[in-house]
Structure 1
């Protein structure tokens, strides 16, 4: 290995062995040994999401290259290597071609039932799942980059369980197909675990992995009066960044992320909020609604005030509203032909759904709780 005066290594070559399990701590890590040039270095890896890749490289005896690792001076004759968030690993052998485009056992990642049972969830995971249902589609602000990007929420399942997965940006994903997702982020929201893609996520269509579990997805469609609304306006610059403290009467606005002054009229207003809904039978329901659904029922001018939006909602007649996991996915004017599409008895009442928190940043939607029977979506191999 070539050491620089600042003790940072450009690369470290060798074979991995003795890859340990993930260490149980607040900041997970694992250890390994790197055999190289007639000696062996102790490696400490602070990227737990790459544990599977290290284990697989150990199993197939593939020569690896560790990029941008740090190595202090030898202590007691022992060489140490620190694999940090800036480091990366590459293998001499292309695993996809070596295994004829099938994944090695370690790359299959964690089963959903195991993930949901863990008291301390890993920050990054790999999964093999079937896409069961597209729950909702919209746009929201990515927390770390403050960019307003499209996202789609799916229900996904394997043979052991199911979970909600948010996929950022447009991806070629089809309901009914199996996919391998790597480097997914685990998100805890109101006591529930969901998954989200990251900038490091790779998505690979894979052959069927068998039968996925039956999934009960809470979907309701009902006639409701809108009796309350808590709208929120979000202003976006031409570069899709969130604008803070925009004044519509001002001729220009400065975007900190773009480091550019824009005409205020070039900004785009997005609306979201929580609606309080009164169904024909049952208690009041509180659900979140996003810009795309809102604009399907009300016209919003670019200079609309908070009060303008509020009055437009209040002027709506009785609506036929479809809700999935506490998010409104469809709104339309109620007609005699628009009846309940969930197969429920008309006298069955709905329990109060938990209100969605007013979030400035994205969090995956929180499943609501219904007392009536939800529409059942079963995974089959007919997709």
Structure 2
């Protein structure tokens, strides 16, 4: 046991990180008088200049930075047999800029030009350059005090060419997976009709709504001679679903909703990745001729008024309409004088 104390004290004295692995023969006793240097939480905060010099897989406990740019398309990656969504952004402070990878539900937590406090980040290196990535324990908190970006910096922004289509969805294929909120393992046998589900990995029984839903898939649009197939990621699809204020039990519920929701406006990249999807709003198209033709505008107003008051009977107050809702200016006409 004495050798273990010497081992621990050696690493603490040199301010190095270490891991202690306990076995069946390990014993833990209470002791006193052990010199254990610690720092207040505010002193653990690093800046980007310091982080850029760190090797791979180092923990960054706290960082205050501002979002400089956010890549539009997301990327789907398979990690430990689980498909995850990742999006890159550029963050910075007065000391420099660095790329940060956001994963899954953290993607929609940031906005360009806003300052956040990031905790429990991790470093990665690629081609001799250091990057940051979020972890399962990362927390992102918006800050009231803005962190200024460097006056001159290489943001490495890449212009993404986008296209737009407004049309009803011809077909869709949606895949939905449930993840444990604790161990984040994919649940292979998840029955949405049951009230409870036991995680297949950590064996914890939870309410079925406690599990994390991840859905992505493909949207198909009918063109003149062929079809357009677009890939939609979890963050984009989830954002669209939340706007509809509708509950979906499984993937087929989402597919049926997409086919019956009417025309949608979709913005996508040249690689056919959906960036944004919204329900299309039907509006009356007004031409330049309509704008300058007062007589035609007056006729349009009269037709609109007559359509909304077809069942109105003189003296019947049940079908009367408030005058402030529709105002029709009568045309000034000349009447012949009485002879």
TM-score by length of 1: 0.44
Structure with higher Rg: it is 2
Looking at secondary structure, tell me which structure has more helix per residue: 2
